[in-house]
A and B are shown apart, each in its own frame.
Chain A
């Protein structure tokens, strides 16, 4: 068996792709941590990390070393199995969701391309709440338990709005495959412009995305001012690092989903995808260009995450529930209705 045959074997190829995406995500996390600290510092008129390396770029490395050197504490009275399981679950869920992101206009740029990848990504991102809930419960700590409780309640109310906002999107695209949704956008323009009210779905999805990743202003599950560190109060050393990494990977995944579902994904100037032959005009350099556009769009959302975190105070628990159930869900439902009307009468009116 030649090397080419081995590499083109779907299992081996899938393994390699998964490894590359995983490595890319894991190595992006330190950069995100650095950028977050710098951007939040800029917003707060501070300098931020500036000691280690030029402009402090090696700071995340120091953080990582510190986290690995810390004592791995096992508090008394914890449910050992679940306590150990939770951080693994959180990072596995975060990495699994990356499998269906079509980073570029070619089959080799997406790890697993199947027909219902959008459903898959929603299912996996909901799995992340199990890590939070189990970790909080197993810690045998009231703060952790309260964090877990909040995370669960938050997740239920936000998943609903998120799912409903995507229903409107799926009505437009007629497909549950993220790759196909992006390909359609390359041909017909970005999804937020494809129906007059679809930008509402976009806004709802962005808000829910922030809530989904437990980031400020929806970071009730960790809320350090009230709950010390919420669900991961009792976690130290590498187990804490895994929760931390999972949070940042989730941010990347949600950014990728927002960019892919609403803002054209890899489509941008110079990338022309032929939906009949399933090839991109110009070959692999233009696939790289597509990946570049995708990363640019993701970077904008990552910046939005940091900007929001630096700007907004945390929601109160009741405000959050009100917002989720009384604003986002009705707005998403109304949006489905409006998009439905638009498509029902499109051919008569336009």
Chain B
């Protein structure tokens, strides 16, 4: 007959929860688009391509990110820099830099492989709702992000110890060619 006190105890517990939720608003739910959970500082979201203070791109088109990518999501086509009109401080720059977001698994290996701290996983994780990027997701091609879509101004990216150190080194020696 132990079932009767057990039954009463269980029913009491659920009633307590129901009253707490109804009257005291103790629901654990987070109503997502209106409310958001604080995200971890090191969240791996959509990629960004960093630039230096003087506007030059950090990416030197070395394709190490593409080599490191386990999902084969990155495509880099490098081109020689014109000394008069540089795009990046190095010898070469990325003429095309594309990431297929359908293939990307957001592992962050590209970020680890990058010698200049150019590619980073940003904080934007809301890629397919209207509050994130204003992007047309109508076909598969639209999931291929181009360089223009990922480039950010200096300081807009996330602080990264490596790229900050590189910035410092570049400040000391403006002609620093081989930044690693």
Contacts and interface: CB of A to CB of B under 8 A. Distances in A.
A301 to B, nearest CB: 15
Contacts of B14: 43, 307, 310-311
Interface in B1-41: 7, 10-11, 13-15, 17-18, 20-22, 26-29, 31
A216 to B, nearest CB: 12
B179 to A, nearest CB: 51
Interface stretch (A44-52, A59-67, A92-100, A133-141): A44-52
Given A39-B18, A307-B15, A46 B10 contact: no
10 contacts: A41-B27, A42-B18, A42-B27, A45-B21, A46-B28, A47-B27, A307-B15, A307-B18, A310-B14, A312-B7
A46 B30 CA distance: 9
A42 B21 contact: yes
Contacts of A43: 14-15, 17-18, 21
A311 B18 CA distance: 11
Nearest to A50: B31
Nearest to B21: A42
Chain A, interface SS category: helix
Interface of A: 39, 41-47, 50, 307-308, 310-312
B29 A42 contact: no
B20 A45 contact: yes
B126 to A, nearest CB: 18
Given A307-B11, A311-B11, A312-B10, A45 B31 contact: no
A135 B26 CA distance: 42
Interface of B: 7, 10-11, 13-15, 17-18, 20-22, 26-29, 31
Q: Is the interface of B mostly helix, strand, loop or mixed?
A: helix
B11 A47 contact: no
A43 B13 CA distance: 9
A311 B10 contact: yes
Contacts of B27: 41-42, 45-47
Contacts of B10: 311-312
A295 B21 CA distance: 25
Nearest to B15: A307
Nearest to A311: B14
Contacts of B21: 41-43, 45-46
A198 to B, nearest CB: 19
B31 A47 contact: yes
Nearest to A312: B10
Contacts of A50: 31
Interface centre among B18, B20, B21 (most CB of A within 10 A): B18
Contacts of A47: 27, 29, 31
Given A43-B17, A307-B14, 17 more contacts: A39-B18, A41-B21, A42-B17, A42-B22, A43-B15, A43-B21, A45-B21, A45-B27, A46-B21, A47-B27, A47-B31, A50-B31, A307-B18, A310-B14, A310-B18, A311-B11, A312-B10
Closest 5 CB pairs of A and B: A311-B14, A42-B21, A42-B18, A47-B29, A43-B18
A117 B166 CA distance: 89
A35 to B, nearest CB: 12
